[in-house]
Amino acid sequence: MEKISLELTIDEANTILAALGQQPYIKVAELVQKIQGQGASQLNAQGEGDLNGNLQEKELRHIATAKNGK
């Protein structure tokens, strides 16, 4: 499969993650994890992982909570 690279702000990435959170979890879980993993590794490389990693973790928890009804 061909790949593309996107350059997004953290807010833009979180907006995409929030929109994905409105979709059925089974359809988007892998994509959400991929976006978060790549974002976290880039932020950690830049030394910004703690603050922004927490934002990504909160978004993942929000998506999981919405899908599980908890």
Does any domain span residue 44?
A: yes
Does any domain span residue 47?
A: yes
Does any domain span residue 54?
A: yes
Beta carbons of 20 and 28 less than 8 angstroms apart: yes
Question: Per the structure block, which two tokens stand in for 42?
Answer: 């880039």
Q: Which domain holds residue 49?
A: 10-68
What is the domain count for the chain?
A: 1
42-67: pLDDT as tens digits: 888 887 655 445 555 666 556 556 55
* Stretch 13-30: mean pLDDT: 94
Does any domain span residue 4?
A: no
Output b/e per residue, 31-58; b: 16+ Cβ within 10 A.
ebeebbeebeeebeeeeebeebbebbee
Residue 8 C-beta-side C-alpha neighbours within 13 Å = 15
* Stretch 6-17: mean pLDDT: 92
Beta carbons of 21 and 59 less than 8 angstroms apart: yes
Does any domain span residue 5?
A: no
| Residue-level pLDDT at 33 | 93
| Residue-level pLDDT at 30 | 95
* Stretch 20-34: mean pLDDT: 95
| Average pLDDT score, the chain | 80
